[in-house]
Amino acid sequence: MSPRSTSQIKALKVEKRALIMKAGLQLFAKNGYQATSIAMIASEAGISKGLMYTYFKSKEEFLRALVLNTIEEMFSLVENTLSESPDDKEFESMINANFKWIEKNEDFLRIYFGVVLQPNILRIFETEFGEKAQEAFLRISKYFEIRNFENPLLETRYLTSLLDGLFMNYIVDPDGFPLQEMKKKILNQYLNN
């Protein structure tokens, strides 16, 4: 019961939590949320069903944790690449970072789009989620402002929608979709005029 052993236990818990989430990520991506049972996730993570409920209050809570966990990372891509007054180079980095990240997070993307599109599944997101999105959105918008775009907010919305569309098409057909060419096209479009 020494503090050390307690912290070790905590570390173990964190590790196992991550393990479970990894299992859930894969299964949700492969089968969808509804078609993936708690039993499947527990089995994949090598634990019992019952133990799932000491880590996550419910299946929905689990999904929420799963998505929020990664969504933070996703939105921080923008903050990590764009300063408060972003220049072209930073913009290019941001785009690059996004495309790179997407390739590594296909599974998450699949879940993410599902959650975004079927609001009744997780309407609760909106608050926590909106804040982070808002922040990233404004960073990008700042770049367009600096570049003297007529309507920076519209341009930002346009760009993010474009990225959404590209990424969505990418996860529908990862092998056939020309992701790299699309990236070049975007960079050309924004940086060469």
Partner DNA sequence: CATGAATGAGAGTTCATTCAT
Partner DNA sequence: CATGAATGAACTCTCATTCAT
Q: Is 154 in the site for DNA (CB under 7 A)?
A: no
Residue 118 is a binding residue for DNA (CB under 7 A): no
3-state helix/strand/coil string of the chain: CCHHHHHHHHHHHHHHHHHHHHHHHHHHHHHCCCCCCHHHHHHHHCCCHHHHHHHCCCHHHHHHHHHHHHHHHHHHHHHHHCCCCCCHHHHHHHHHHHHHHHHHCHHHHHHHHHHHHCCCCCCCHHHHHHHHHHHHHHHHHHHHHHCCCCCHHHHHHHHHHHHHHHHHHHHHCCCCCCHHHHHHHHHHHHHCC
Give yes or no for residue 54 binding a second copy (CB under 8 A).
no
- Between residues 78 and 84, which has the closer beta carbon with respect to a second copy? 78
Q: Taking CB under 7 A as the criterion, which residues in 46-65 touch DNA?
A: 47-54, 57-60
What are the backbone dihedrals phi and psi of residue 171, each rounded to the nearest 5 degrees, phi first? -75, -20
User: Rule CB under 7 A: is residue 29 a binding residue for DNA?
Assistant: no
| Residue 40 binds which of a second copy, DNA, none (CB < 5-8 A, kind-dependent) | DNA
Q: Interface with a second copy includes 110 (CB under 8 A)?
A: yes
Q: Closer CB to DNA, residue 125 or residue 177? A: 125
Q: Could you tell me the smallest distance in angstroms from the CB atom of residue 33 to a second copy? A: 8
Contact positions toward DNA, by CB under 7 A?
Answer: 5, 8-9, 12-13, 16, 35-40, 47-54, 57-60
Contact positions toward a second copy, by CB under 8 A?
Answer: 29-35, 110, 113-114, 116-121, 151, 154, 157-158, 160-166, 168-169, 171-172, 177-178, 181-182, 185
